[in-house]
Structure 1
Amino acid sequence: MDFVSEAIVLQARKHGETSAIMETFTREHGRHNALVRGGVGRRMRPILQPGNIVEVEWRGRLEEHLGYYTVELVDALAGTFMEDRLSLSALNSLASLLREMLPEKQPLPGLYDVTKIVLERLDDPDIWPALYVRWETMLLEGLGYGLDLSRCAATETTDNLTHVSPRSGRAVCAEAAEPYLDKLFRLPPFLRGQPIATPQDIADGLRLTGHFLETRVQWERNRTLPEARRVMVERLVADGLAV
């Protein structure tokens, strides 16, 4: 059996003397691992850096086997992040969430495409924080826990949606939210299509998605959110991009 797919490198760890096991997020086959012969050598090591876009050819006798990757570099994005601590923290957070949360070998092409867009824009701090929050909403959707921000959970109106219920993940309009403001999450306008995201909006968005990633996804596995995500949030705050 074999396949060819574009993929995002999530991690590569040494295996034996010269090989590496590379973990990828492939467009057609979801999260997938395989052995790369010579993966720790000078030629391959820069290619197997997290964040790079590659084309992989997987070969194995049976689908459930680890198998082998042949790897060709498509876009060396990783090198653009190494000198920027903020962008690197976003890459580490994104890769950690995908490694921990994605089921193996489940195709999620929509999430893959959005992930690639975020990676390609991590060099622009005016853009990527809002994209990253939207990416986490897509991750929740891909895992079966999508938020419903289309209409009010209490009144069914689609107007003046300002908050989100921490229980249902559904939007709440301002009138229905008024008695429960201390119990609801604020809904950042950019998640409803507004073009501008303030530092307050970014912080509110990260609190919103973080809550559901932790209580809906990680809780079932008896885990908290990855440390890399906390580091990213702290650096956003330190740089004034979140409050």
Structure 2
Amino acid sequence: MHFRAEAIVLAVRQHGEHGAVVRALTADHGLQPGYVRGGRSRRLRPVLQPGNLVLGEWRARAPDQLAQLSIELIESHAASHAEPLPAAALEWVTALTATALPEAQPYPRLHAALSGVIGAIAAAPAARGWALALARYELLLLAELGFGLDLGVCVASGASDDLAFVSPKSGGAVSRGAAFGYEDRLFPLPSELLSGGDADWGAILAALRITGHFLDRDILADTRTDPRDARNRLVDRLKRAVA
């Protein structure tokens, strides 16, 4: 195996005294691990921060062998790591992606969306500028992995108008009329989760509550590494920012 590709650094794990195993997301080759010689050095530590865009070269003699990986920095997001809320968002979204995706399967829509979220985190002066994009990325990841929510029509009536809630069991939308009397058992559905655009904090937190529930149930419950603490820290910081 030998290829070069731009990649988003997702996770870095110490390996031996001086090296590191890096997991990075490419557009055409999917999630790719690789061993970076000297990955713990003063020169490479800033390059191997999660969220950074790098040019990687993977080399392996056999398909089942951990590739040797050399990396050059294309774009750093060190400034985002220096701020509490952006740092928490980068920690979560990269850890989620590294945990959820299988290796070597391309997900070009997720790669493009993740690049957009990271760019929004870097560019937006406040969390309201990227928090909804993060929730929409989580929604896309669920769909790409086969756990998409059916938010186009009411799961009870089949109607496509006045959709105001989401069933925590089926993941389907529920209209306001069909939800009457059961509202406390459903998630409020902010329209911005589907349409994007500007959203107030109430809509953002409602969107994150929906995606968090289904990520926890369908993606993260049986994973070997559990990044949910990172998400909890992020949501707690967002709530404190609103208060």
TM-score clears 0.5 = yes
Kindly provide the amino acid, as one letter, of the partner of residue 70 in structure 1.
S
Q: CA deviation at 1:126?
A: 2.8
Aligned residues between the structures: 240
SS at match of 2:198: coil
**1:81-120 deviation digits (Å, cap 9, x = unpaired):** 1221000000111122122221122211101110010001
* d(CA) in 2 for partners of 1:56, 1:46: 15
CA contact (8 A) 2:95 2:227 kept: no
State the alpha-carbon separation in 2 of the partners of residues 32 and 151 from structure 1: 37
Gaps of at least 5 residues in structure 2 are none
For residues 165 and 60 of structure 1, the distance between their equivalents in structure 2, rounded to whole angstroms, comes to 46
CA contact (8 A) 1:19 1:38 kept: yes
1:214 alignment counterpart = 216
**Distance in 1 of aligned mates of 2:188 and 2:217:** 17
- Within 5 A, what are the aligned runs for 1:90-105? 90-105=89-104
234, 238, 241: which one aligns with 1:239: 241
TM-score by length of 1: 0.92
- Percent of counterpart pairs with the same letter? 39
Question: Which amino acid in 2 is paired with 1:105?
Answer: A
Runs of at least 5 residues in structure 1 that lack an aligned partner in the other structure: none
Whole-Å Cα distance in 2 between the matches of residues 190 and 7 of structure 1?
29
Cα deviation per residue 1:103-144 (whole Å; 9 max; x = unaligned)?
122211101110010001113123100101101101111211
Amino acid at match of 2:159: T
DSSP 3-state at the match of 2:221: helix
TM-score (norm 2): 0.92
Cα distance, 1:168 vs. partner? Answer: 1.4
Q: 1:223: how far off?
A: 7.8
Provide the aligned C-alpha RMSD in A: 1.7
Question: Which residue of the partner structure matches residue 164 of structure 2?
Answer: 162
Kept in 2: contact 1:214–1:225 (CA 8 A):
no
Aligned to 1:80: 79
